[in-house]
A and B are shown apart, each in its own frame.
Chain A
Amino acid sequence: MTSHTQGARDEILGKVRSALSGTAPTARPPIPHGSAPDDVVALFAERVADYRAVVERCTERQLPPRLKAALPEGRVVVPAGLSVQVPDAVVDDGLTAAELDACAAVVTDATVGIAETGTIVLDHGPGQGRRAITLVPDVHVCIVRTDQVVADVPDAMPRLDPTRPLTWISGPSATSDIELDRVEGVHGPRTLHVLLVG
């Protein structure tokens, strides 16, 4: 830390302390939980589909053919620790952004699915890979197991490790910047295909 920053640090903290002199710490109410839905997995599928993502439910045995059908023509990249075999896929070993841009699709596992909000969280562990691989290719096929699906955001928090980078994904890339109308397809993957297994 430079001395310049040290002076700023001391001054800011000093001003914070003097602004707070005479205040008492406030009480905190418990964090509220919503009511749990009857069928968490069905709600998850419905809410993900609401974002105009493709959602398919299948068994473990049906997964390989469904996966094959979901993939577009072209190069497919996968993380080294993916839970299923994808024939002819390129295993990411530190591909450059330009090399990833030449890939048509990526297949990954997930960490948590959140039913209420239709959200998938990746913690970029072995089955999910570096953040860049699920960002640059235009199609993201994501495998979510039904036992990974929780009811709402507060149920997801304890399953997540904040020291890892996390990406929360709710549908394909979208924007509401033109007349506040949501349209899909800006910089992230324009197609999100979720295979819900189990």
Chain B
Amino acid sequence: MTATFVGMPRFPVAAKAALADTQLRRNLAHATATIRDKRARVVAEVDNWEELRLAGAAIKDAALFSLDTQLVLLEERLTAAGATVRWARDAAEACAIVAEVAQAHDIDEVVKVKSMVTLEIGLNEALEAEGIAAWETDLAELIVQLGDDLPSHILVPAIHRNRAEIREIFQRRMTGAEGITDEPAALAGAARTHLREKFLNARMAVSGANFAVAETGTLVVVESEGNGRMCLTLPEVLVSVVGIEKVVPTWEDLDVFLRLLPRSATGERMNPYTSTWTGVTPRDGPQEVVVVLLDNGRTRALADQVGRQALRCIRCSACLNSCPVYERVGGHAYGSVYPGPIGAILNPLLKGVGTDPQVDSLPYASSLCGACFEVCPVRIDIPSVLVDLRAQVVDAHRARRWGGIPSTQTVAMKGAAVTFGSGRRLGLAERFARLGTGVASRFGASGWTSARDLPRAPRESFRAWWRRTDGGRS
């Protein structure tokens, strides 16, 4: 993949461009409406869904609040089961470990299970720089990779593409796909043929993990197509990059997430395939198993008392599918592999605020309608985290502003405080309100009024009317 999110513009700029793309809006409206309906149907089947959500949130919190002991236990159990555990502070360290494992075996080609964390750390590009080709094997990731495109959704990275566009990409980039139709079954069949040989000959695979069970050292991959099973089973070497927040304490805990995740993600009672494995199994599957435990900003997020709940996220994408902002602008506008409501909080939490204007713009990419919180299977209160992050962004900029020159917003807020603080001053202000709004919409507040109507002030203020009519009695 040659495309990159590096250097993406701030959200409002990117969103404006995306909104002008009518094809994109049609594709997204169709796909998100389909998945919302499916999710609602299978969630309604579960009579104790809310209890399950509470249990999911509580299990993740229990894991996060004892994360140090959970990680040490996970490492111990993995090592006992024959896996090698490596730790990576950041993206560069994690990529270097994966490249090192490949090079130690003289491997110049790896197959990949769909994994958000490997996109987050830019693994494909890092491996390419070391002369190692990384093949995405998930259908949507393959569409993105072959189209030199960027992912726009956590679960379905090619959600912005319709079947005709996918056919065009396949015809251009796959040998033998010239005469293919745009039927989804035919397109899936073409991907099967295209990747078959790669799977049968691959010597090394790279995966992420949906969950890591501390008490047993078990990793879990939840998938649909069987590409995950191919990668986890056929090669000799398997490297799994696992964010440290993926830990769940016990085997029984996994049950709750296997009930929450498929229904929230693809709107199915269960996804077609879930694989669990614990280290190395003699004579079955990869005989060298490496697990890379990755921080890359997660400990920063954990230190944020309001925001740490974002680490409960199980990457189901229900918040994206239910978000009115995401549905209209799509995933690319968020400038990250994590788009949508969860991306609007996760990116600032992982990267910190006050340094990158693109990251600082994300907490504002929301109308705070709350639909994301309602569907979240682990009850992440995204609107509250967004509001808290907005305050952090403002504070960071206030602290960084040199020479004490205040922003327009600070001046406006200070002015409002003075005006509203006195009846006399408010009365005076009201007399000039009509003039003021006219001026504001042209100059000071044009950032606000470019996308919204600024109401015209009435000819007479309420206080003036009260005085003139004696409270409506005369």
**Which residues from chain A sit less than 8 Å from chain B, CB to CB?**
1-2, 4-6, 8-9, 11-13, 15-20, 23-35, 47, 50-51, 94, 97-98, 101, 114, 116-119, 124, 130-132, 135-136, 152-154, 156-158, 162-189
Contacts and interface: CB of A to CB of B under 8 A. Distances in A.
Looking at chain B's contact residues, is the secondary structure mostly helix, strand, loop, or mixed? helix
Contacts of B41: none
B256 A179 contact: no
A20 B281 contact: no
B276 interface: yes
Contacts of A2: 86
Given A156-B255, A183-B185, 4 more contacts: A168-B258, A181-B34, A181-B184, A188-B272
B47 interface: yes
Closest 5 CB pairs of A and B: A188-B226, A15-B299, A19-B303, A187-B226, A186-B225
Nearest to B293: A12
A174 B224 CA distance: 6
A117 to B, nearest CB: 4
Given A15-B295, A180-B159, A130 B284 contact: yes
Contacts, number: 262
A34 B46 contact: yes
Nearest to B143: A177
B251 interface: yes
A98 B163 CA distance: 32
Interface string B215-250: 010100000111101101110000000001000000
B281 A118 contact: no
Interface of B: 27, 30-31, 34-35, 38, 46-48, 51-52, 54-55, 58-59, 61-62, 65-68, 71-72, 81, 84-89, 93, 97, 137-140, 143, 156, 158-159, 162-163, 166, 184-185, 187-189, 191-192, 195-196, 199-201, 213, 216, 218, 224-227, 229-230, 232-234, 244, 251-256, 258-259, 262, 266, 268-278, 281, 283-285, 293, 295, 299-300, 302-303, 308
A18 B303 CA distance: 8
A32 B52 contact: yes
A153 B59 contact: no
A49 to B, nearest CB: 12
A18 B302 CA distance: 9
Contacts of B295: 8, 12, 15
A32 B226 contact: no
Contact of B31 (A47, A163, A179): A179
A162 B218 contact: yes
A178 B278 contact: no
Contacts of A27: 58
B89 A168 contact: no
B226 A25 contact: no
A158 B201 CA distance: 36
A50 to B, nearest CB: 8
Most buried by B among A35, A101, A162, A189: A162
A174 B272 contact: yes
